[in-house]
Homo-oligomer: A and B are copies of this chain.
């Protein structure tokens, strides 16, 4: 398959495929001569994955490359790899100054209330802190009650996810990293639809 056939297969402009090649998101084809290379099904799959991440998940090209690199070439520690993946996922958050004794007070309080263990280095802690700070700044702070309710359901979802993790290490990394990123938009869309459904149920019950 030549590059133009690849572009057609993936329904992308040729120039865009070249751009992804240049940016290192797509692995090069096998060069058969100085001006010819052949591409295969793996390139088509990769392009679909790239579009899934830049499209529905909303990642930038840089973030997408970071995620793809992790999936392609995971370390031997799933925990560290997932940590790296989460730290590249939005929202981006600047790390706290090293000398702050309690850099994440809201997140710490929340996680203690939930009885969850956590690694303060983990990017999601800073993300939670930023998200909670934003709710306060906007004048709609999360009550502890709401936090407990949300946390309880998300823990069950997380437990469900973990139960279905493949055993083989490489597959486990792919499942975890991609599952974290790809299922998030589904989660948000389902919540928005659930609001609609519950509201409709309320009205019908009147």
Binding site for B on A (CB under 8 A): 45, 48-49, 51-53, 55-58, 78-79, 82, 86, 89-91, 111, 116-119, 122, 124-125, 127-128, 130-135, 137-140, 142, 146-147, 149-151, 153-162, 164, 175-176, 178-180, 182-202
Q: How many copies does the complex hold?
A: 2
Provide the residues of chain B in CB contact with A178, threshold 8 Å.
138, 140
Provide the residues of chain B in CB contact with A164, threshold 8 Å.
146
Provide the residues of chain B in CB contact with A188, threshold 8 Å.
127, 131, 184, 187-188
Provide the residues of chain B in CB contact with A198, threshold 8 Å.
155, 158-159, 162
Provide the residues of chain B in CB contact with A122, threshold 8 Å.
193, 196
Instruction: Report the minimal beta-carbon distance from A205 to chain B, rounded to whole angstroms.
Output: 12
Contact of A195 among B57, B90, B176 (CB under 8 A): B176
Contact of A197 among B116, B133, B189, B191 (CB under 8 A): B116
Provide the residues of chain B in CB contact with A199, threshold 8 Å.
78-79, 82, 162
Closest to A203 in B: B79
Distance between Cα atoms of A52 and B162 in the complex (Å): 32
Closest to A160 in B: B149
Contact A202 B162 (CB under 8 A): yes
Contact A91 B200 (CB under 8 A): no
